[in-house]
Amino acid sequence: MKILRLLLGDQLHPLHPWFAEVSRETVYVLMEVRQETDYVLHHAQKILGIFAAMRDFAGHLERNGHTVVYLSIDDPKNLHSIPANLHRLISELDAERFEYQEPDEWRLDDQLRSFAASLEIPSQCAESAHFLTSRTDAATFFGERRQWRMELFYRWMRTRHQILLDKDGEPAGGQWNFDPENRKPWKGEPPPPADWRKPHDHSLLWETIQESGVRSFGNPRASDFRWPLNRSEALADLESFVRAALPNFGDFQDALSTGQWRLFHSLLSFALNTKMLSPMEVVRRTEQAYLEGRVPLAAAEGFIRQILGWREYVRGVYWRFMPGYAERNFFEHTAQLPGWFWTGKTRMRCVSLAISQSLEEAYAHHIQRLMVIGNFSLLAGLDPAQVHQWYLGVYIDAFEWVELPNTVGMSQFADGGLLASKPYVSSAAYLDRMGDACASCAYKKKERTGPNACPFNSLYWDFFDRHATKLRKNVRLAMVYRQLEKMTPTQLTQLRSEAARIRSDLDRC
C-alpha cells in the first residue's frame, strides 16, 4: 500500500517510531510553503533556520533509505498551501493512505483534520512521540479548578517521572523549588562561556528565500548562522551547555546584562521545539550532572523546572483553551505597538537592548521577554493580540503552543489570571536590581514624574490605579494597593497625568 506521510517544519524528530522501518511504499513529504511563512511576519532567522533544518532532515531520511519528496520555496510545482500540495501529491503518487503527526498548533491541527476527513482514502494521525504529557493531561489534572498553578503541576510531574527525588520519594534537598536562589544579578563574574554553537553559511538559501518574495524582519545572519540544524548538533549543544553554563545557570538565570546577551542560558529551545531533542533526555542529562556533583541542585532544579514543569504546563493550557485564547483581553487594552518594536530605537535603555537583541539574534531570555518587553507592553496598555503576533514572529523558538500562553497568559495577564497568579510587572527598581542598563539610560530610575523620569515608574502605579476594580482583591497585590492608598491626591494626579502623557505618544519613549 502506497502511504504518503507529512512532516511539518517542527517535526524534525529522527527517533520517531515512523522511521524504525524503511519501506519503498512509504513516501515522506516536507514542504516550504508561503502558507507558513506568511501567516505572521517572521524573523529572518526563524524562516532560514526552519528551512535549513528541514532540508538537513530530508537528507538524513534519504541517507537512511527513506523516500522523500521535498518541495522547496522556489519549486514551480509548489502550490504554497499544505492541503493543495497534499492533494496533488496524493493524486500523482496514487497514494492509498495519508498519515500525519499531531500538529502542535491549533490552526494546523484543525486544517489537517478537515483535510483528512475530506479524503476518499484512509488517513491516520500519529502521536508526535515528543512531549511528556498528552494534550489533555494538564486539564485532567486541574479538573474544574478556576485557576491553574504551575507549581502543583510541576510537583506532580516530578513524582510521575521520578526526577530529583530521594530514595523515599521526597524532593532532593528537602524542597521542590529553589527559585529564591535563582535571582542573583550578574556583576561580571564568573565570565560566561563562549558561544559553543556551530556556525553555518546559508547565504544561498537566504537569497532563494528573498527571491521567492517572502517577507521577514530582523538580521538573517545568513553567513554566520548559529542555530543547530540536526540532532547531532543539538546534542553537542546540550553537552556544551551542561559542561560550560549549567553550573552557573541557577544563580544568574534572571540576570540582565548590557554586555552579555546569552550569559548562562542554554539556547536549546529551538532544538527542543523542532524536536531535534526530546525533553526527557534534556531533563535526565541535567539530573545526571547534579547526581555526579558537577552542578548545584538549585541550578539543576531551576532548569528542569523550565522543561519538565513550565514547558509541559503551557502546552496543557494551550490545548485546553484553544481556540479563542489568543483573543482574550482581560484589561481591554487596545494601544498599538510603537514603531520601535521593529527598530529597537527607544530611549529606554533596557527595552532598547532587549528588542535590539531580539532583532539581531531572534532570541531573548525569559526575563527579557517577561520583565522588560512584556512588562512595558502591559503597563503601557498594548493590545495583547498585537504583542502576541510580535512575539510569535520575532523569536526562533516561538511556536504558538508555547508562545501564546507565555505572552497572553503570563506576560500580558490577558486571560485574567488563569495561568499566572498576578500580573508580572515592575517599576524601574526591579530592572535596576537585576541588571545594569539604568546606569547608562537617558531616564532617571528613581524619578516618577518629569521629562527625565523612567517611564516604568509612573506607568507602574497608573496601571494598578486604572485596574483597581479588577486587581484590588488579589491577595498577592495587597502591598501594592496599601502603597497606593498612602499616596496623596496630588501625587496620584501627577502619576496619572505623567502616565497618560507617555501612553498618548509611545513612539517618543
270-321 pLDDT, tens digit each:
999 999 999 999 999 999 999 999 999 999 999 999 999 999 999 999 999 9
Contact 135, 315 (CB under 8 A): yes
- pLDDT digit string, tens, across residues 415-426: 999 999 999 999
Confidence label for 183 from pLDDT (cuts 50, 70 and 90): confident
Both 427 and 465 in one domain: the answer is: yes
Name residues whose C-beta falls within 8 Å of residue 124's C-beta, 6 or more positions apart in sequence.
Answer: 97, 98, 99, 100
Both 365 and 450 in one domain: the answer is: yes
pLDDT at position 63 = 98
- pLDDT digit string, tens, across residues 262-276: 999 999 999 999 999
Both 315 and 280 in one domain: the answer is: yes
Both 413 and 358 in one domain: the answer is: yes
Q: Number of structural domains, the chain?
A: 3
- Look at residue 240 and tell me if it is in a domain: no
Contact 256, 426 (CB under 8 A): no
Both 266 and 346 in one domain: the answer is: no
- pLDDT digit string, tens, across residues 340-367: 999 999 999 999 999 999 999 999 999 9
CATH number of residue 15's parent domain: 3.40.50.620
pLDDT at position 181 = 80
Among residues 99, 126, 153, the one where a domain terminates is 126
- Look at residue 80 and tell me if it is in a domain: yes
DSSP string across 326-337: GG--TT---BPP
What percentage of the chain reaches a pLDDT higher than 70? 100
Both 183 and 268 in one domain: the answer is: yes
179: pLDDT strictly greater than 90: no
Both 161 and 76 in one domain: the answer is: no
Q: Which residue has the cell 484512509?
A: 122
Both 151 and 113 in one domain: the answer is: no
- Look at residue 225 and tell me if it is in a domain: no
Contact 163, 283 (CB under 8 A): yes
- Look at residue 146 and tell me if it is in a domain: yes
**Beta-bridge partner residues of 27:** 4, 67
Both 162 and 279 in one domain: the answer is: yes
DSSP string across 225-292: B-S--SHHHHHHHHHHHHHHTHHHHHHHTT---SS-SSTT----HHHHHTTSS-HHHHHHHHHHHHHT
Average pLDDT over residues 127-140: 97
What's the domain range around 111?
3-126
- Look at residue 221 and tell me if it is in a domain: no
Average pLDDT over residues 173-184: 89
CATH number of residue 186's parent domain: 1.25.40.80
- Look at residue 208 and tell me if it is in a domain: no
CA atoms within 13 A on the CB side of 334: 1
Among residues 126, 160, 182, the one where a domain terminates is 126
Residue 462's Cβ-count burial label (10 Å; 0-12, 13-18, 19+) is buried
- pLDDT digit string, tens, across residues 238-262: 999 999 999 999 999 999 999 999 9
pLDDT at position 147 = 84
Confidence label for 182 from pLDDT (cuts 50, 70 and 90): confident
- Look at residue 405 and tell me if it is in a domain: yes
- Look at residue 232 and tell me if it is in a domain: no
CATH number of residue 481's parent domain: 1.10.579.10
